[in-house]
Amino acid sequence: MGIYSTLLFTSTFVFILLVCSVDPRSIHVWVFGIQMLWQTFWHLLIQYREYYLHESISIRLFLAVSSLMLLTQRITSVSMDLHEKRVMLPLNASSKREACVTLLPLISYILNFTTLLGGPLCPFSRFVSLMAGIGLNPPPNPLWVVFLKLMQVLLLEWVRYCLVYFLKHTNIILYGVQWVWGLAVVLRIQYYSHWRISECLNNAAGFGFWENSSGDSSDWTRLSDGDFWTIEASSRMSEFARRWNATTASWLRRLVYIKCKRFPLFMTFSFSLWWHGLHLGHFVGMLTWAATVKADYHIHRHLCPKLSPTWRKIYTCLSWINTQMIVTCIVIAVELRNMSGLRLLSITYIGLFPLFNIILLFILLKLNTVY
């Protein structure tokens, strides 16, 4: 990251200062506010240089800001642990050695490069317990597990290459819903490959291992952001939202959803929009996601009890298609970030799928109010 690595070191330095000087009961508010202001400043600076000055942005800066977002996850996770007294740090050290024993695990966790490059979010307590016991009870050799997961990455990349080739050379008749859906699958496969590579990196370092108490084979899947087949098999938007980027979804739930008394779902997606960088496509994508998840809850609650087993299977199939189309709209809007993604959705009419769900949500809310 070059000089831009100072973004991460600055956040870490400020966080350690706050830990040493602020009362644990109010530390989360301070950490959350300062860290999000720091991250937002860099997001807005990138947008200003990219859209108003029309400057080319250094890839090093993009990498640093991406890592800064993951650092925000880690720092706020620890601040919540301190606030809720899940983690206790004895900071009244009488010597430099005792101070280092207290603070070095914290710094090591925050700047741990295996998760700083691409996630997933590992809890601080789990990180410390692994580091403390790795010499006494080391995990088994992860070589075979890493090899199998890398083979999955190669398979995903091969599928992505075939899809890209097909989209480039397809007949113009398919330029519509099918073409845009294929493009969204290509973009999602990039995420799945990235998560698998990050998972491999963490497994190679010994993270993500849980020993099964039943004596079965070792489980190396406890530190993962998602699996292609599990996520893509989701037949409901609410299922997809919980499974997509799983550790980030858990962090958002803990940070925002549980704490909000009013409109927790929309507040959670609104914060996700802020955390991601406030691009136009993010506004459309995140708010559409929130509205369609809310619609999914009401539609499923209204229809499922009235369906026979046969119709329930048909409903599940149609619901899967509906989920895929909505996710396509969200991915295109979020990934293309600007008006080009929104124009593509309007030209192909695929945006009618989330619109239909939102209209149906308002109808069901109106019926619930009447009856």
Residues 177 and 292 occupy one common structural domain: yes
Can you give the pLDDT at residue 211? Answer: 64
> Is residue 120 included in any domain, yes or no?
no
> Is residue 222 included in any domain, yes or no?
yes
Is 245 one of the catalytic residues?
Answer: yes
- Which of the residues 245, 279, 298, 357 is marked catalytic? 245
Other C-beta atoms lying within 10 Å of the C-beta of residue 309: 6
Residues of the chain with pLDDT > 90, as a percent, come to 32
pLDDT per position as a tens digit, 181-207 = 888 999 999 999 999 999 988 888 888
List the one residue out of 83, 131, 141 whose CA is nearest residue 107: 131
Can you give the pLDDT at residue 97? Answer: 67
* Mean pLDDT value of segment 201-218: 72
Can you give the pLDDT at residue 371? Answer: 52
> Is residue 130 included in any domain, yes or no?
no
Rounded CA separation 212/97 (Å): 37
Per-residue pLDDT band at 31 (split at 50, 70, 90) = very high
Residues 95 and 149 occupy one common structural domain: no
- Which of the residues 112, 194, 276, 302 is marked catalytic? 276
Mean per-residue pLDDT of the chain: 85
Largest CA distance in the chain: 75
Can you give the pLDDT at residue 76? Answer: 94
Cβ–Cβ under 8 Å, residues 189 and 159: yes
C-alpha pair distances (Å), 36 with each of 13, 60, 74 = 15, 20, 12
Residues 90 and 148 occupy one common structural domain: no
pLDDT per position as a tens digit, 32-77 = 999 999 999 999 999 888 888 888 888 999 999 999 999 999 999 9
Residues 10 and 89 occupy one common structural domain: yes
Which of 87, 111, 135 is at the close of a domain? 111
* Least confident residue range of 38-42, 177-181, 209-213: 209-213
Residues 294 and 206 occupy one common structural domain: yes
Counting the structural domains of the chain, the total is 2
The residue range of the domain holding 179 is 143-370
Can you give the pLDDT at residue 357? Answer: 86
pLDDT of 172 above 60: no
Is 276 one of the catalytic residues?
Answer: yes
CA atoms within 13 A of residue 318's CA, in its CB half-sphere: 13
Comparison of pLDDT for 10 and 131, the residue scoring more: 10
